[in-house]
Structure 1
Amino acid sequence: MPIQTNAADIVTVSVMGQVANPALSGLPAEPYRLTADGTPFLWPTFGGIVYNVTVGDSAFGWSGDCIHPSVSIAHPDANKNRGLNVFACVGNEAMITSGAAKGARGVVTGKSGRFSDQVIIHFDQETRRRIAVDDQILVKSEGVGLALPDMPDVAFKSLSPALFDLLPKRVEDGVLKIGICAIVPPHFVGAGAGLTSEGGSLHIQSSDRAELAKHGLDTLRLGDLVAIQDADSRYNHGYLRGAMSIGIVGQTDGPRAGYGPGMTVVMTAPAGQLGCFDAPGTNIADLLEISA
């Protein structure tokens, strides 16, 4: 029996941003960052048009720092960018409205940034070659306000109703269980903890590679669904024993301490109302029929 949602009552509204240029701070004057062991490095970072990293690819092994697959957008006005980041949801349709790729359609696959900076959108590689920085992209935002009338303690974050319908899921003894690729123990939760759960990302710390492999997290792919143990993301991301959050891996690994693959949290509950089951290979590239 289908799980009933309030999708018919949700408001669908447009939000817009433009393709963001990767940025580096002007000060200090050196552009280098530090790895977990203090080694300076200079690698591409998030933002821009990424031509060779796509949802479904490995989240590890790239010579980059928390790279966003495909295209990142933001609005130059901080308040409007906040609206873009809060209202855009994973699974939403996006359309390019200016430039050589005008009219091409894509799909939102994640959000990123310490303070809800950018929205990540997938376009196929042919379209990416025609996109330019500053091109305008419209998102048909739908998902904020999503709820389950029979399970009000499960809170939704940044998830489109259409994608929720596609997720592997079941209800057992009143608990909503989601099919996932791996469980992220609480000691892996890094950057993003303590910040809002309405946008941005929560990172899997990855500097301890042996521990990462021990928990089967070293084979994660961009777009994989994961469960985050003892993570309460109803308002801000924080530790709460017995809580659980569900995330989608949205950006790649990076060498800095406290960082690693970034997750967009899409569901959370505080006290056992949300669970998971093993569903190896569950990835939004397949669920949303994303083409390379």
Structure 2
Amino acid sequence: MIKTNKDKLVIQSVQGKIHHPLGGNYRISHEGEPRILPATGGITYNVHVGDPAFGWECDHVEPSVSIRNEDKAENDAIMNLACPGNIAKVVSGDAKGAVGYVLGGHGGIEHTIIEFHDEDMEKMAVDDKILIKAHGQGLKLIDYPEIIMTGIDPEIFSKIKIDERNGKLHFPVVCKIPAVLMGSGIGSSKGHSGDYDIMTQDKDLIKKLGIDKLRFGDFVLLEDCDNTFGRGYLKGAVTIGIVIHSDCIKAGHGPGITTFMSCKKPLIEAKIQNDANIRKYIDL
């Protein structure tokens, strides 16, 4: 088992409310087509972790439930501290007591996305409060100090079957993404919060690489992508991330990737598995 410092990590509450979808859904596709489509926010009843990230009539749709805190400083804390796999609980409204888990954070709109069961979502309403046990920031891999962990629940991480061979970690992912395809969000000064998008305008390349088969919650490996202390291109760098929102019609956009593990050197390699999805490791 990979040695970590998880016994030294703090578990802390962060809280937000189910955020209503915003207006202004009019947008222009990369083909110049004007559309009005469902986008970010709200309770998305028929889209869940494990469903395809492609094929929906939507733009940037977030599966299940999206929350935000309207106090910016408090919402920044949610975005920075809540990690994929963290437990979340509804603390107000008819669904009070329902339990789900964090999928990831969506930059720009600054939403935290949480997966819940259908029967619980039917009882929810916009503005219901959801508390998250934020746990994971500060995680370190004792024997791999050059690999920077930027936010994943340590208990979930410990369940993932990562192989150690010749000084490298072989991480289970659905596919590899070349750096040339990483778009919106590139150049951000931080890799510990939010996401950035796989550009999907080149349909032939997307199909060739199997990216069109991605599902919400899938783990992917980003090649030549440095997300240790920002988001940028670096030959040989490797990043592991998770799919958190849908494909998009806008140029420079596509499925969003929340990143949680990155190294400036090629110390992480892909172990291709079709079922490499966070839901495999959740026990609720």
TM-score bracket for this pair, using the shorter chain length: over 0.9
Secondary structure at 1:192's aligned position in 2? coil
Residue equivalent to 1:146? 139
Once the two structures are superposed, residues 67-111 of structure 1 have per-residue CA deviations (whole angstroms, 9 ceiling, x without a partner) of 110000010001110001100000000001100001111100111
Structure-2 separation of matches of 1:176 and 1:23? 41
Matched, 1:217 2:211: yes
Determine whether 1:47 maps to 2:41.
Answer: yes
1:162 to 155, 168, 175: 155
Cα deviation digits, residues 205-251 of structure 1 (max 9, x gap): 11111110011111111111100000000111100000000011111
Structure 2 unaligned residues grouped into runs of 5+? none
SS at 2:212's partner residue?
coil
- 1:214-253 aligned at under 5 Å gives the runs 214-253=208-247
- Aligned position for 1:22: 21
Separation in 1, partners of 2:235, 2:279: 31
Equivalenced residue count is 283
1:84 aligns with 2:78: yes
Quote the Cα distance in structure 2 between the aligned partners of 1:208 and 1:168.
33
Q: Indicate the percent of aligned positions where both proteins have the same amino acid.
A: 37
Give the aligned residue type for 1:252: S
- Is 2:192–2:260's contact at 8 Å kept on the other side of the alignment? no
Distance 2:82 2:23 in 1: 25
Letter of the structure 2 residue corresponding to residue 24 of structure 1: G
Shift of 1:289: 4.3
178, 193, 199: which is aligned to 2:171? 178
Work out the CA distance in 2 between the residues paired with 1:64 and 1:289: 30
Alignment partner, residue 124 of structure 1: 117
Q: State which of 30, 36, 51 in structure 2 corresponds to 1:57.
A: 51
- Shift in Å, 1:163: 1.3
Give the residue type in structure 2 aligned to 1:73: I
1:35 to 29, 36, 43: 29
Deviation (angstroms), 1:24 = 2.8
Q: Deviations over 1:137-180 (max 9, x none)?
A: 00000000000111111111120101111223111111122011
Counterpart CA distance in 2 for 1:223 and 1:213 is 19
Q: Decide which of 252, 255, 269 is 2:249's aligned counterpart.
A: 255
**SS of the residue aligned with 1:218?**
helix
Which 4+ residue blocks in structure 1 deviate beyond 2 angstroms?
Answer: none
By how many angstroms is 1:113 displaced?
Answer: 2.2
Paired residue for 2:262? Answer: 268
- Which residue of structure 1 lines up, in the alignment, with residue 11 of structure 2? 12
Letter in 2 for 1:127: D
- Amino acid paired to 1:166: K
Task: Tell me how far apart the structure 2 counterparts of residues 206 and 288 of structure 1 sit (CA, whole Å).
Answer: 29
1:137 corresponds to: 130
Aligned mates of 2:201, 2:282 — CA distance in 1: 31
CA distance in 2, matches of 1:208, 1:166: 35
Query: Structure 2 length normalisation: TM-score?
Result: 0.97
- Any idea what the Cα deviations from partners look like across 1:35-63, whole Å, max 9, x if unmatched? 00111111010111000000000010001
> SS at 2:216's partner residue?
coil
User: 1:170-193 CA distances to partner (integer Å, 9 max, x unpaired)?
Assistant: 111111220111000111101111
The answer as to whether partners of 2:171 and 2:271 remain within 8 angstroms in 1 is: yes
Note the aligned Cα RMSD (angstroms): 1.1
The one-letter code sitting in structure 1 at the alignment partner of 2:161 is P
Using the alignment, how far apart are the partners of 2:147 and 2:192 within structure 1? 15
Equivalent position of 1:206 in the other structure: 200
The answer to whether residue 103 in structure 2 is matched with residue 109 in structure 1 is: yes
Partner SS for 1:164: helix
